[in-house]
Amino acid sequence: MTSKAAATQPRARPAVEPGTGIDRLCIDTIRTLAIDAVAKANSGHAGTPMGIAPVAYTLWQEFLRYDPAEPLWPNRDRFVLSCGHASMLLYALLHLSGVRRVDDDRVTEKLAVTLDDIKNFRQFGSMTPGHPEHERTTGVETTTGPLGQGCGNSVGMAIAARWLGARYNQPNRTLFDFDVYTICSDGDLMEGVASEAASLAGHLGLSNLCWIYDSNTVTIEGHTPLAFSENVETRFKGYDWQVLRVRDANDAAALVQALQRFRRTDDKPTLVIVDSIIGYGAPNKENTASVHSEPLGDEEARLAKRFYGWPEDAQFLIPDGVYNSFRDGVGKRGRALRDDWQKTFAAYRSEFPQAAAEIDTMLAGGLPAGWDQNLPVFPADEKGTATRDASGKVLNALAKTIPWLIGGSGDLAPSTKTLIDHAEAIEPDHPGGRNMHFGIREHAMGAAVNGLVLSYLRAFGATFLTFSDYMRPSLRLAALMEIPVFHVFTHDSIALGEDGPTHQPIEQLVALRAIPNMIVLRPADANEVSEAYKVVLNLTKEPACLVLSRQKLPVFDRTRYAAAAGLARGAYVMADAENGAPQVILIASGSEVQLCIAAYEQLKRDGIAARVVSMPSWELFEAQDESYRHAVLPPDIKPRVTVELGAVIGWDRYAGPTGAIIGMRSFGLSAPIADLLRHFGFVPDKIVQAAKAQIAGNRIARNGRP
């Protein structure tokens, strides 16, 4: 039985005429391009572009500080389409504005989105995928589609703009003051990540942030009263946002007034609630769920075009004057603004050459000369140090040489050791601080860090490894976008002890490793931590996760064991048989390497030749050539034991079909660490037993007899 709330809710056609002349022509071009592209693909969402096209058009033509001929201009306003399902809205704007394509960080004369690209919407190899992809299509500031993520990214972008201005702007020499505009949907505002991000933005008073909420009251299942009845205006006022209302998406004058008020506001972010009609102009489908995610159909498309005064059978029509209008609007204004900025930067470079050189390095995604020269080297120490503590020392050494390294944690800095010493917090009155208090908002933290890195900063987040689950969608998108964010995840195993199984991670390592293009590093001691940071900061197209211990780990004597620099290759032989011909290979990551070293020494005393392989990163190891991988793990040596305080999934790749895998096959328990490790078998004696059993089993298999 269909709920009454699912039925069409009345929404009157606007009292305001949706524009006339060239403006109306441009708006209807956006609408019909969406209709035609979705129809040709037989897939996609035309309804939202049809309803919100006047808003996007007015924003781009009258407000957005953006030069289509130079889409990498550092001080451009950012436009984020958080409701990525409406991607044809963005593709139409990019095409009509003449945004140039960037190849290998160089602006070309090619269009970022051609008309043929629009005709090939959602097709293999097209520049117009189903949802906007930052790494694929120039002009897409961030990858969106999973709802709420763009909202979170935009908060990071707005924080970055204020940070850049605080550090680099000088009197009469303003280099960074860009605004961030986000179009979001009912679905975006239902998602928890958007709520977390809005709360953070309100706390920080991000007056350079404007969300335009397309309130069309329709989602896939029906009208929003099915599941969404809160008062959004009241909610955002509670977040300390300025809330403005435009009662009709076609009322350009009202939108202009709202955006002008946004620009005049200097103490809080702005939410502009725009009432729109999804599928506007389609007489039988507008304001219904069917227009949300289905093509209109041939007859309804013709009727919609008739309503717009459009040739009913025209396909992908761009009337005379439309390109010129965009050229004379956003194009001309953006070019003038960029020219002025370049003159300002030239004068700035003359007056402040050191700061200008720093900006050049930052914008190029580089690092200062000598950034890694003073990283700590830790002396051998049997009592050792927790890798989270070592990380804190390395992070602070890096902060001294990389000014644009900023970050924070989900209210756990004392535990994750991610506080930058002698640095201010980023707060409403201190936008140039370096310590970000994200609060207990892990999902928004992940999304905001993505936005920070998309805005030139090297930014990080931090929390306990278990709580990486809260941020997984943002981590996944960072990997998809190929951006070098990094996160510090501490309390990495059941060895955190008494907090118990709610906080003890089991499956999280496997889950992180499962994300394509994600580099996961779990260092075994303090010196591997230093080497891990060298790897992380050198990444340019991969995000990374540093997985660190709460408990102290020995700092290995590197005169006895191999140098920690081997971490850069993902896995390395840390200790080997004296003749280089081991009878068994012990493989581990992180805190379990010490157990394998202890087992190795015991096996040696028992006359058994063993090899210990420290494997902090599967991803880095798999990137090595076959000869190196086989040198570390010779295929002909079958007796193997892998040891990790996490789920066993995936370790068979390195243990082989007959190897032993010592790992977690259940949740942990609340108890002191020593009791837990003994109970679950993470002690050297168990590894020695497994190693001897492996050797014996292999001998029997080789001889073919019991």
- Residues designated catalytic: 442
Element (H, E) at 28: helix 21-41
As a whole number of angstroms, the distance between CA 613 and CA 600 comes to: 11
Q: How far is CA 315 from the centre of its chain?
A: 37
The rounded distance, in Å, linking the Cα atoms of 390 and 427 is 27
Contact by Cβ (8 Å): 305, 32: yes
Looking at the DSSP bridge assignments, the partners of residue 611 are 585
Nearest-CA neighbor of 66 among 76, 79, 52, 80? 76
Q: For residue 360, what are the CA distances in angstroms to 168, 343, 345, 460, 693? A: 12, 15, 11, 21, 59
* Angle formed by the axes of helices 332-351 and 353-363, nearest 10°: 130
Beta strands 218-219 and 222-223 are antiparallel
What distance lies between CA 151 and its chain's CA centroid? 12
Dig out the tokens for 176 from the structure: 């960074």
Q: How many CA atoms lie within 13 A of 371 on its CB side?
A: 20
Sign for the pseudo-dihedral over CA of 382, 386, 391, 394: negative
d(CA 310, CA 574): 72
Nearest to 301 by CA among 318, 317, 284: 284
The token pair that represents 116 in the structure block: 């043929």
> How many DSSP H helices and E strands does the chain contain?
26, 22
Contacts of 441 (CB under 8 A, 6+ apart): 196, 197, 199, 200, 410
Instruction: Check: CB of residue 186 under 8 Å from CB of residue 224.
Output: yes
Amino acid at 96: L
Structure tokens given for 257: 């007034």
H-helix segments, 74-177 = 87-97, 115-119, 149-168
Asked if residues 201 and 160 have their Cβ atoms less than 8 Å apart, the reply is: no
Region label for 365, one of left (φ > 0), alpha (ψ between -120 and 50) or beta (otherwise): left
**E strands, 16-149, in order:** 78-81, 100-103, 106-111
Helices 593-605, 684-703: axis angle to 10 degrees equals 60
- What are 180's strand-pairing partners? 78, 209
Structure tokens at 13: 């056609």
For the packed helices 87-97 and 47-62, what is the interaxial angle rounded to 10 degrees?
40
Alpha helices in 402-441 (DSSP H): 413-416
In order of 29, 55, 56, 89, 308, the CA distances from 305 in angstroms are 10, 19, 20, 17, 5
Structure tokens at 219: 């989602």
Around Cβ 395, how many Cβ atoms within 10 Å? 23
The one-letter code for the residue type at 170 is Q
Task: Name the residue among 634, 493, 646 with its Cα closest to residue 577.
Answer: 634
Could you tell me the two tokens for 297? 């159909």
DSSP 75: T
